[in-house]
Amino acid sequence: MIELEDVGYNYGGGELFSNLSVQLAPGSFHFLTGPSGAGKTTLLKLCYGSLTPTAGRVRAFNMDVKGLDRDQMAYLRRRVGVVHQDCRFLDHLPVVENIALPLTVSGRGLTEEQANLKELMNWVGLSERMDALPPELSGGERQRAALARAVILSPDVIIADEPTGNVDWEMSQRLLRLLVELNHMGKTILVATHDLPLIRAAKNQVQARVLRLTNRQIVSAGADL
C-alpha cells in the first residue's frame, strides 16, 4: 500500500536518515517510535507526499510519489487521512465544517453526507460540539476532530503524528480505541508516538508492529517495549 525503498532524507545539509525501507501492508497497524529529532514526522510526511526523499523511492498505491503532479498529489491525500499533533484547522469555520472539509474540497455535497457526518461526530464524541469554533475546543476534542476529518473520506491509510501528545491518559486510550476500531474496519494505520505505555496498551487490542527510528536507521522493536 505504502512502501519506502532505501529512502534517505537530508535536512539543511545534514543527513537525517538513509537507506530506510518500510512496507505498510493493507490492514496493518504500525507504531513508529524513537527519540525526538530522529525524523519520525519527516518519515510520516514522506509517506503522504508532503516531502520528497533525497534518495530512494516512496511508492503509494503502486505510484511513485516523486512522479506525481500536484493534482495527483491531491488525490493521494484523499486516500491517506492525516492527523497532526498540532491539529491545524480553519479557525473561522465551525468544527462540523472543518470535519467535512475533505468532502467540500472533493466536490461532494454536504447535504447528501449529513447522515454520515452526524454518525462520525457521534463516533468521535463531538456531536454536542458541532457548532463550536476550533479555538474553543480542548486538546482532546481537537485530536478527535482531526481524526474525524482524517477518516471522513474513508481513506485506505490513516497516519497520525503524536495523536496523544497533548491529552491525558484517559483521552489517549479513547483515541487509541478509535484507531483500533478503524484498523478492524480494514484501514492501514501508522502512528508516530513516543508514548510507550500507549503502545503497550495497544498490544492488548491489536496486532501492531512497532518500528523504532534511531541512529538514522529503522529497526523493528520487540519485547523491550
| Of the candidate residues 40, 77, 187, 212, the single one contacting other proteins (CB under 8 A) | 77
| Of the candidate residues 20, 153, 211, 213, the single one contacting other proteins (CB under 8 A) | 153
| Of the candidate residues 36, 62, 71, 224, the single one contacting other proteins (CB under 8 A) | 71
**In angstroms, how far apart are the furthest CA atoms of the chain?**
50
The footprint of other proteins on residues 47-66 (CB under 8 A) is 50
Distance CA 33, CA 39 (A): 10
| Of the candidate residues 35, 54, 66, 105, the single one contacting other proteins (CB under 8 A) | 105
In angstroms and rounded to an integer, the radius of gyration of the C-alpha atoms of the chain is: 17
| Of the candidate residues 51, 55, 93, 208, the single one contacting other proteins (CB under 8 A) | 93
Q: Does 156 bind other proteins (CB under 8 A)?
A: no
**C-alpha dist (Å) from residue 163 to 154, 167, 196:** 19, 8, 13
Q: 50 near 211, Cβ under 8 Å?
A: no
State whether the Cα torsion 179-158-58-42 is positive or negative.
negative
Q: Does 78 bind other proteins (CB under 8 A)?
A: yes
Pick 12 or 70: Cβ nearer other proteins? 70
Distance CA 154, CA 187 (A): 9
Pick 25 or 74: Cβ nearer other proteins? 74
Q: 3-class SS at 85?
A: coil
Question: Which residues of this chain interact with other proteins, rule CB under 8 A?
Answer: 50, 70-71, 74-75, 77-78, 82, 84, 88-93, 97, 101-102, 104-106, 110, 149, 153
